[in-house]
């Protein structure tokens, strides 16, 4: 019983910061010390106008997150297989190396990359931002996929091959269906990481790539609290979808366990 009460308290505290955001997004001039504001839909209708840049930011975030997730999958799948299914000299070192971009501050790297991106004409473009987002999506993707593969029995593949299946057929009919749930978790993770990314976009986007976190950051500093709250809630949309999915997928402990075994 005490256990349950303690848990409910913890969950309540975790929820707490969302409460003022929710109220503020429907509030009109909620001055101190009012406990209940004057309700309005004004913030949400401002959100939909083009001047709020939210629509554009939403779209850019979506494109960037989708492309960087796709690219991370492309390099993460083979790497995850290697790390999950085989043992080889230098495995620990490779894992640690792949993790470096998320444990070492990317600031110096970003300023170095920016130097090249300017010369390539990629600074302040969507492609440039996608490229640096790989710095954080690839490590997470590889780790998640490596533990997905660690729980994958490659004997199924051997059996299918011995029964005459081609390697393409094996991939399509055996491997992909078996690893699909874990791949979904990895992809969701990578998508969210890119969607939530602020610093990388901030440095490489040069103020021209304006993803949703950039819109939120600008709004936070401008002082229109109601609109800021509405933007903040809007940027939670993929996270909510993620939670919806993850109620099943995060139970997939094998996928998340990868992060606990660095």
Distance set, CA 15 to CA 1, 10, 81, 170, 200 (Å): 21, 9, 38, 46, 28
Name the 3-class secondary structure at 38: strand
Report in angstroms how near the CB of residue 195 gets to another protein at its nearest.
7
Closer Cβ to another protein, 92 or 177, answer by number: 92
Report in angstroms how near the CB of residue 164 gets to another protein at its nearest.
22
Residue 28, φ and ψ in degrees, nearest 5: -115, 110
Report in angstroms how near the CB of residue 233 gets to another protein at its nearest.
8
Report in angstroms how near the CB of residue 156 gets to another protein at its nearest.
18
Report in angstroms how near the CB of residue 186 gets to another protein at its nearest.
13
CB atoms within 10 A of CB 106: 17
Closer Cβ to another protein, 87 or 155, answer by number: 87
Closer Cβ to another protein, 174 or 228, answer by number: 228
Closer Cβ to another protein, 79 or 160, answer by number: 79
Q: Do 194 and 133 form a contact (C-beta atoms < 8 A)?
A: yes
Task: Tell me how far the alpha carbon of residue 150 is from its chain's centroid.
Answer: 23
Report in angstroms how near the CB of residue 178 gets to another protein at its nearest.
17
Q: Which of 224, 240, 246 is nearest to 43 (CA)?
A: 224
Q: Do 63 and 126 form a contact (C-beta atoms < 8 A)?
A: yes
Within the chain, residue ranges assigned H as helices are 2-15, 18-25, 42-48, 54-85, 91-103, 107-120, 126-150, 155-162, 167-170, 176-196, 199-204, 212-222, 225-234, 237-249, 253-257
């Amino acid at each position: 019983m005490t256990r349950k009460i303690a848990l409910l308290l913890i969950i309540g505290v975790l929820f707490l910061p969302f409460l003022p955001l929710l109220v503020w997004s429907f509030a009109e001039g909620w001055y101190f010390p009012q406990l209940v504001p004057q309700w309005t839909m004004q913030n949400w209708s401002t959100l939909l106008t083009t001047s709020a840049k939210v629509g554009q930011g939403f779209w850019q975030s979506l494109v960037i997150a989708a492309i960087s997730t796709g690219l991370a999958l492309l390099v993460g799948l083979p790497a995850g297989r290697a790390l999950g299914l085989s043992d080889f000299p230098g495995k620990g070192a490779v894992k640690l190396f792949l993790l470096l971009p998320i444990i070492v501050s990317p600031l110096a790297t970003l300023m170095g990359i920016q130097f090249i991106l300017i010369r390539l004409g990629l600074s302040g473009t969507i492609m440039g931002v996608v490229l640096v987002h790989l710095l954080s999506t690839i490590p997470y993707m590889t780790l998640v996929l490596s533990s997905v593969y660690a729980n994958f029995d490659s004997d199924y593949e051997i059996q299918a091959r011995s029964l005459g299946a081609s390697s393409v057929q094996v991939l399509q009919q055996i491997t992909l269906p078996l690893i699909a749930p874990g791949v979904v978790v990895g992809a969701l993770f990578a998508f969210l990481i890119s969607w939530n990314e602020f610093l990388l976009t901030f440095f490489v986007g040069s103020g021209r790539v304006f993803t949703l976190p950039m819109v939120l950051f600008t709004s936070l500093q401008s002082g229109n609290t109601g609109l800021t709250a509405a933007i903040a809630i809007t940027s939670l949309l993929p996270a909510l979808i993620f939670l919806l999915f993850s109620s099943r997928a995060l139970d997939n402990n094998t996928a998340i366990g990868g992060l606990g075994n660095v």
